[in-house]
């Protein structure tokens, strides 16, 4: 705990938020914020755009995070899809629709959109995506993307 100029105490939790009419609203985590060209982007907003990009994607099926490739920070969006949707829409179409939706709605272009099979995203026992664990799996090469050849019966929409 630390004290500020008016001697009130604060606990540094890493949460971002704001006060409005005396109420505290928590908007995200400091470490989760994606900064691109001086602008802050919240992964929750990017994930929501990804989830809404394709009818049939489930809630909490996306993770957005930045990953340093040694030259720059890259925006990565991982989306999980069930076999039914992969067969009817196709991984390539899902990937493109997510890419387009994030660009249009959030005004940020993903560097990579990865489509994985349902159940591949790490989640808490209550079903929330574990963004940092997903980032770690991505950086360790442990996420297996669904490709056209992997979804044998897939048809492009």
Domain spans of the chain?
32-139
Q: Are 63 and 43 in contact (CB under 8 A)?
A: yes
Domain 32-139 has CATH 3.40.50.850: no
Structure tokens at 106: 């959030």
Residue 18 has pLDDT above 90, yes or no: no
Q: What is the pLDDT of residues 82-91, one digit of tens each?
A: 999 999 999 9
Give the count of beta carbons closer than 10 Å to the beta carbon of residue 4.
8
Q: What is the dihedral of CA 24, 26, 29, 35, to 10 degrees?
A: -90
Q: List Cα–Cα distances, 94 to 2, 103, 107, 108, in angstroms.
A: 47, 14, 19, 18
Residue 2 has pLDDT above 70, yes or no: no
Q: What is the pLDDT of residues 98-152, one digit of tens each?
A: 999 999 999 999 999 999 999 999 999 999 999 999 999 999 999 999 975 444 4
Q: What's the whole-number mean pLDDT along residues 64-89?
A: 93
Q: Are 92 and 147 in contact (CB under 8 A)?
A: no
């Amino acid at each position: 705990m630390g004290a500020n100029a008016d001697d009130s105490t604060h606990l540094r939790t890493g949460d971002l938020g704001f006060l409005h009419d005396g109420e505290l609203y928590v908007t995200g985590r400091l470490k989760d914020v994606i900064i691109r060209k001086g602008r802050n982007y919240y992964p929750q907003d990017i994930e929501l755009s990804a989830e809404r990009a394709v009818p049939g994607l489930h809630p909490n099926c996306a993770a957005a995070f930045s990953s340093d490739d040694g030259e720059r920070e890259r925006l990565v969006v991982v989306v999980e899809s069930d076999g039914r949707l992969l067969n009817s829409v196709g991984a390539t179409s899902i990937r493109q629709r997510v890419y387009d939706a994030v660009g249009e709605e959030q005004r940020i272009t993903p560097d990579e959109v990865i489509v994985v099979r349902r159940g591949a995203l790490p989640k808490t026992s209550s079903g929330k995506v574990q963004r940092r664990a997903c980032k770690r799996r991505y950086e360790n090469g442990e996420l297996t993307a669904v490709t056209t050849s992997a979804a044998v019966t897939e048809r492009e929409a």
